[in-house]
Chains A and B, each alone.
Chain A
């Protein structure tokens, strides 16, 4: 599991698989890859057309740059990667596979330092994790998945529904609480979010919980007053323990484009961010902005969300991500695995 408290060996597929249940073990890597595969489809089919076997000239490099831009890498990292490629290979005849391998390597070298799981300090009881992000990027769902993962590890988890703004957000978290067997602390609708967080913290301490996950309301980083409310939650938690929250995770939607930069920047300015969780990587979005973010901020990427099910939160594997992004994995076999296993543990509808 990616969230084990002593950091696991570099999150490689084979190391993580045995800890999973037998049915899921064949499936999850395939699911991640398949999720990413969808992401990389456009990029890789484009690559095939560009580099079937031809001379790597300026025009070809420009096309390559376009492809990277379409994967949401952003103009600057795209230009840099292409420049690296041009420096070594210009005017040589290259194959599709070669170009992909080189690209994957450069992408992975940018991403690798960021592939770090969240470390839960067992001496903190409870270890308080604050979940933040803009609206609609999957915070509440991610809290549910995290709760499930840590429960599986035998930690005792308490959830705090500090999203008092959005209609029925509390009910949504309560449903996740029931699903994962974690109690949820709630407050009155439109009440004070900080008060809910504070009460939850006190309760978690009294009950000797290992982990407190605080779900906050989604807020656009441009809304100053909402950002101040977030700061207040942090301040109030510090009254109990000056070190709290022990981790603040920024949830980021993979479909987000270059605005992700502004989001990370603003949230980071307000509160120290311990890591990112990237959601919705099972869609058609390429998540290429991650490369740009890794390049610029170097924040740990704690986990990636690849589906709506309780167990659809995965460790971030830089190499696998990079290789899948350029379409280097052969997925014919894993796709079959996917078809068999993926639907099986899909969420029961409520």
Chain B
């Protein structure tokens, strides 16, 4: 076991949690959120939607299977990571496995965090911390090391999507259907799920006017932070509504399509971050277990008459997706691409490609 240093988590209400440092030994600030998933830390850490956030994992034993090798699949996408780097600001856990074990691990979680300059704390009563966040709501917090003070930082005060999105247009694959992917902080598995279905994916920056592109369908990706910063994207989505081609949104994409349709969004008390959230298809008996990671949600009451809820969260009745009553436009608040998490809803990509095919056939 290496030499262990003390490190603190300080919440905006003044609560202090003391633990031991196992990542990069430095101070950071952000919004403290918790996730109840029991697997998938390499995927979570590289999920751009965590930008500006300090993540608490409620599952206490972390680091067990190390960090996987950085190999890529047939599309050139990394097999086990959701982007090219760690996006979250800090990681807070209960029990760290210094010795990892897995056939495809190449380094420890600690080593990876250090390489990426991200602090990690273990030895925290993460259940007590989680309950606090649940009762008070998401809070700002900072990880502080001795002699390195840092100010609180509120990620909602900045456009996080702009930081997480790609700087330039990029094309993947060579499939039958051309899909524009508006990258608001896109996870690689969204690209993979599209490519697996005979598409060419044209990945564009969040504020790119994709309506000028030659495309068959649009995917609005997931992304971090408050959707209200993405007015340029919303404007482009409105234009796309008029073009009438199929549109599919995921997570941030759901919120942006909602805003473009005239609906309002609001911030949840402590968000949804889990692998076990149940959603039900509206007016149906079909239910799915979904992977979720979001702070903001669409207010169903503000949906205009052309739109209707598509999915609802069984736990708290919040919106989990919407669809246009006549046009081929739909979106999901959860993550049908999974990674990490359950794969129950990957069929939504099939639905999307089918819409594209039908739309092409009609026109």
**A-B interaction:** no
B-side residues, CB < 8 A to A, are: none
A-side residues, CB < 8 A to B, are: none
